[in-house]
Amino acid sequence: MKNIILMVLSVFVFIIFSSISINSFADIDPMDDAQQYRSGGQDLDIVAFKKQLEAMEETIKRQQEMINVLKDKIETKGKVVANPTPSYREESEIERVIDNYLTKDETREKMVKAGLAPKIDVGYKKGFYFKTLDDKFKLNTLGRLQTRYNFRNKDDDEDTSSFRINRMRLKLSGHAFTQNLSYSAQWELNSFTGRGQLKDIFVDYRLLPGLHLRGGQWKVPYNRHNMASDYKKQFIDESITNDAFSLDRDIGAMLHGELFKEQFEYNVGIFTGRGINATENSNNKNMVIGRIAYRPFGKFKDYRESDVEYTESFKAAFGAAFAINNGTEIFFSDELQTFPKDAQFMQFGVDSIMKYRGFSLQGEYHLRSLDRRGFNRDTAKGFFVQGGYFPVPKRLELVARYAQFDPDINVSENLKKEFALGTNWYFSKNHHHKLQANVTRVVTDNPANDKEDTLISIMHQLEW
């Protein structure tokens, strides 16, 4: 099409200039030339033809210049029509106006009534989700499965070789009526009993920016190692220190939030203090906990072990927590413990984690005092350090850990030590799909009866 327009314009211009040239040629008076050249003895026809040729060459030259100008204009116009790209500012402003209009509740309602949009949006993002067009209601589903193989070598028992389902869970989460009111529920098929168990069920309401109120059952926000999801761990099993000092899940209420551009985090709560799925309290006393954390270099995924995200700038987080409980039944050391009289339980811990370009390092230290009121006082302590590095970024990780637990510092020769090595392969470049292999050795220092337990584990994990 562009070539046809160009040809038509060229012919049109040529006709115009040809007519101008003919008129110019008509203005030449041959009689004047004849008189002039007779006097000089020149041939009349040759001189006249030369002048006509010069005039024609000048005309053709002007025509070609105009043709070139028209070509440039046509090509420029064609590019603009074919690629009408606005400037970055114009494009951003257009997108902003459209987004603002489409996100208005009345706009969405009009679109639904007009049949231009469905009433419910269905998709997949970190699990399958269903939500209303006005985004007042949302349900997100997430499936989790861990299958593993164990070979255990025991000093005081026979070796064992077994396969089992480590965890199989279904998580439901989302918000209702408003995005400020969120909820979460997680159910698990227990691999030891073969029965289902409710792990998490809570409602979280955003009262103000940086201030949330939560009620229900979830992991007690005491130590970082336990607060990290079981599907975001660096090792297959948690350290012996975590088994001794974590407070697992409990039922209660809590105020929590993040302040100062999410660099400062706080949790203050009151719980039953009897562990997961407790139906009632044995007395009118409850467990009180408090936790603070600080991220001096800005927020990052500090409750996910391993730097599979390959953090480009150095990040670190530091935390401290306490827990106080009283009663004849107190949950600690991974079980509900019973006392003949009210006991007083106090526990304190500090933790930290850092990540940088595939390298991660974290650790915790804990101290616990248990006053049995009239019997004795136990003081336990423990710590662990673990780290990892990705020689193949976001794919292959090598990990190592050392942990130590002393159940009572007043009793000698009861120290437990853990040494662990492992490797992780991330199929999906995140924790959703990975394969883990660990070798763990636990040693109990007791000259009269030293015990060593070596565990080799391989586990496949899938989240969908």
Using one digit for the tens of pLDDT, what is the confidence trace for 130-183? 998 888 999 999 999 999 999 998 877 788 999 999 999 999 999 999 999 999
Tell me which residue of 434, 451, 385 sits closest to 146, measured CA to CA: 434
**Range with the lowest mean pLDDT among 1-15, 189-203, 443-457?**
1-15
Whether 225 contacts 238, CB under 8 Å: yes
Q: Which of 56, 82, 108 is the last residue of a domain?
A: 82
- Please tell me whether residues 74 and 128 are part of one structural domain: no
Query: 29 pLDDT exceeds 50?
Result: no
Q: Which residues pair with 179 in a beta bridge?
A: none
**Residue range 24-42: mean pLDDT, rounded:** 43
Tell me which residue of 428, 440, 431 sits closest to 399, measured CA to CA: 440
Q: Which of 82, 112, 139 is the last residue of a domain?
A: 82
- Please tell me whether residues 147 and 58 are part of one structural domain: no
Phi–psi pair at 102, nearest 5 degrees: -70, -25
- Please tell me whether residues 343 and 418 are part of one structural domain: yes
The pLDDT confidence band at residue 113, using thresholds 50, 70 and 90, is low
Query: 44 pLDDT exceeds 80?
Result: no
**Range with the lowest mean pLDDT among 42-56, 173-187, 305-319?**
42-56
Instruction: Answer whether residue 253 is part of any domain.
Output: yes
- Please tell me whether residues 63 and 131 are part of one structural domain: no
Residue 118, classified by CB atoms within 10 Å of its CB into exposed (0-12), middle (13-18) or buried (19+), is exposed
Measured CA to CA, the distance from residue 320 to residue 266 in angstroms comes to 10
Tell me what pLDDT residue 334 has: 84
Domain range for residue 245?
A: 120-463
Instruction: Answer whether residue 107 is part of any domain.
Output: no
- The domain that holds 426 is classified in CATH as 2.40.160.10
In 271-290, which positions are buried (b, 16+ CB within 10 angstroms) versus exposed (e)?
Answer: bbbbbbebeebbeebbbbbb
More confident of the two residues 446 and 22: 446
Tell me what pLDDT residue 449 has: 63
Tell me what pLDDT residue 335 has: 87
Residue with tokens 């064609």: 78
Instruction: Answer whether residue 394 is part of any domain.
Output: yes
More confident of the two residues 2 and 73: 73
Query: 263 pLDDT exceeds 70?
Result: yes
Helix 2-26 to helix 44-82 angle (10° resolution) is 150
- Please tell me whether residues 17 and 65 are part of one structural domain: yes
Highest mean pLDDT among 169-183, 272-286, 330-344, 443-457: 169-183
- Please tell me whether residues 73 and 186 are part of one structural domain: no
Query: 228 pLDDT exceeds 70?
Result: yes
- Please tell me whether residues 59 and 184 are part of one structural domain: no
Query: 304 pLDDT exceeds 80?
Result: yes
The pLDDT confidence band at residue 341, using thresholds 50, 70 and 90, is confident
Q: Taking the mean position of all CA atoms in its chain, how far away is CA 303?
A: 12
Residue 226, token pair as written in the block: 């336990």
- Please tell me whether residues 67 and 195 are part of one structural domain: no
Instruction: Answer whether residue 355 is part of any domain.
Output: yes
- Please tell me whether residues 78 and 184 are part of one structural domain: no
Tell me what pLDDT residue 446 has: 73
Whether 167 contacts 188, CB under 8 Å: yes
The pLDDT confidence band at residue 88, using thresholds 50, 70 and 90, is low
Phi–psi pair at 416, nearest 5 degrees: -110, 135
Instruction: Answer whether residue 109 is part of any domain.
Output: no
Helix 44-82 to helix 30-40 angle (10° resolution) is 130
Tell me what pLDDT residue 23 has: 46
Mean pLDDT, the chain, integer: 84
Query: 375 pLDDT exceeds 80?
Result: no
Q: Which of 82, 105, 138 is the last residue of a domain?
A: 82
Give whole-number Cα distances, 351 to 46, 172, 232, 291, 365, in Å: 107, 30, 17, 11, 7
What pLDDT, in 10s, does the model give residues 418-442?
A: 999 999 999 999 999 999 999 999 9
- Please tell me whether residues 154 and 297 are part of one structural domain: yes
- Please tell me whether residues 143 and 250 are part of one structural domain: yes
**Residue range 8-13: mean pLDDT, rounded:** 50
- Please tell me whether residues 249 and 378 are part of one structural domain: yes
Residue with tokens 């942990």: 403
Instruction: Answer whether residue 105 is part of any domain.
Output: no
Instruction: Answer whether residue 319 is part of any domain.
Output: yes
Query: 94 pLDDT exceeds 90?
Result: no
3-state SS, 268-318, equals EEEECCCCCCCCCCCCCCCEEEEEEEECCCCCCCCCCCCCCCCCCCCEEEE
The pLDDT confidence band at residue 332, using thresholds 50, 70 and 90, is confident
Domains held by the chain: number: 2
| Cα torsion angle, 12, 13, 15, 19, sign | positive
Instruction: Answer whether residue 102 is part of any domain.
Output: no
